[in-house]
Structure 1
Amino acid sequence: MSGDPKKPYEVGYGKPPVATRFQKGQSGNPSGKPKKVPRLLDPGKVLEAIDNEEISVTDNGKRKRMTKVEIQFRQLFVKAIRGDMKAARLIVKMATEYFVPEARGVPVYEFIGTTEAAQRFGRDWQDRIDELNAELGYPR
């Protein structure tokens, strides 16, 4: 830069060198602040969070902490006991669907050794076990 005020200068305040200037169409801050991504609302998670909230209730004169879903089930049982058939049907439906398989009567295999089988069923223990398995429908 010379001291001649009439000559236009190429580099200076507000005029960076041409080689280091931003290219057309290119941002000055390429990584920049990321845009906000709206969170998707998941109704199932919201419902689960509400049902799992604990609140204090008085049960038989004692204060207890229970989840809201537990309180809802207790109220459903009270309605069924008082004669609400809709509530009773719902409880029966849930019981058959969610109780453990043992409560539904699904057979449970029992494994025993040959010594115990001989003690329980005598000398013909193999024939007796085969008969019992055939009666219960167990595979051989």
Structure 2
Amino acid sequence: MSNNKNRSNVGFGNPPDAHKFKPGQSGNPGGRPKGSKSWKTVIEAELATEIGLKEQGVELKVTKMEAFAKRLVSDALAGNPKALGELLRQLNKYFGDVTPAEAKDLPASEADVRLLLKYAEKAIKTKVQNGGADDQANEF
């Protein structure tokens, strides 16, 4: 007769003792090496580096993240509907009273949609009046 005590401990998620990892033995020995950086760490480090930026004739030293934020706000103010939508989403995400799950769907309020449509209409009207030429500079 078989030993029922040993048999009941073996099954899905419970391998036999002979096949279990020993203490200190890795299940993925060829995995990520110690000391290697994650994607998040690399991006954070890159966005924290400083660059030179000329704003209204004045030379500034700002981080790449600050330059990115300045460009996003500048583009939104220039009437770029995609930049405006992203700016509103970021404002609602970081300054609004919403959960992270709700933030991915923003801008969702009726007022936000009306504002986006207003700026899109203005941008189209300007483009038509200028004959399709983009006269607005995308500088800081």
TM range (shorter): 0.3 to 0.5
The structure having more radius of gyration, on CA atoms, is 1
User: Relative contact order (alpha carbons < 8 A, sep ≥ 6): 1 or 2 greater?
Assistant: 2
TM-score by length of 1: 0.42
Q: Higher helix fraction: Structure 1 or Structure 2?
A: 2
